Amino acid sequence: MNNTSQVTITQRRSAGSRFGHLMSQWAVFFRGFLEHPKMVGSIIPSSRFTIAKMLAPVKWDECKLFVEYGPGVGTFCGPVLERLRHDGALIVIDTNPLFIDYLNRTITDSRFTAVLGSAENVEQIIRDNGHDHADYVLSGLPFSTLPEGVGPAIAKATYDVLRPGGAFLVYQFSAAARDFMAVHFARIEQGFELWNILPCQLFWGWKDEAA
């Protein structure tokens, strides 16, 4: 067998491996959606366009702790870890044990911690992991379908846990999240990403530096 043939076979195996991983990831995500449709924002993970736009305002050199609510199968986890400083940390929180188990099996980065729990308890969760505040918090939770009282509780807990100058990053199919955010965040920037299934609204709520 010549070198060209060996390279071709290797490339095919690599492509097959990536395709297999993608199918496995989507299968887990779809199952999670079927089991808990009100807690999963979409039937399909976010697009790379949404990821890039959502994370663009983050000052990564100043980010020691990044928190994500509802990570699903880790669509944002890889991009966050790629940008995160070497001594930083990423804590993700999800109420679905299926997703937490999948993430713990597929992400081996020492900066990564997956917690089975509710975003309402973010302050206690980060304290349990050795932190007293977060620099940025990302959420794809569907605020419009969360149980009554949960959305406001998450918005308040997030504001309280953020350092002054930090931000709450939210992507949604509706503007419901902004109503919850506006109670606490005086400055909210808004964007839109068409290249996503479905197109989604983006919000960045900034905590006042003087807070």
pLDDT tens-digit series, residues 100-141:
999 999 999 999 999 999 999 999 999 999 999 999 999 999
pLDDT at residue 42 is higher than 90: no
User: For residue 4, how far is the Cα from the chain centroid?
Assistant: 41
Higher pLDDT, 138 or 175: 138
Q: What is the Cα–Cα distance from 159 to 137, expressed in whole angstroms?
A: 9
User: Comparing 30-39, 42-51, 131-140, 187-196, which segment has the lowest mean pLDDT?
Assistant: 30-39
39-43, 177-181, 188-192, range with the lowest pLDDT: 39-43
Which amino acid is located at 105 in the chain? R
The pLDDT value given to residue 37 = 52
How does residue 194 score in pLDDT terms, banded at 50, 70 and 90? Answer: confident
- Domains detected in the chain: 3-206 (3.40.50.150)
State residue 199 phi and psi, 5-degree precision: -55, 140
Percentages helix, strand, coil for the chain, rounded to the nearest 5? 45, 20, 35
User: What pLDDT score was predicted for residue 159?
Assistant: 98
Instruction: Check pLDDT > 90 for residue 94.
Output: yes
pLDDT value at 26 more than 80: no
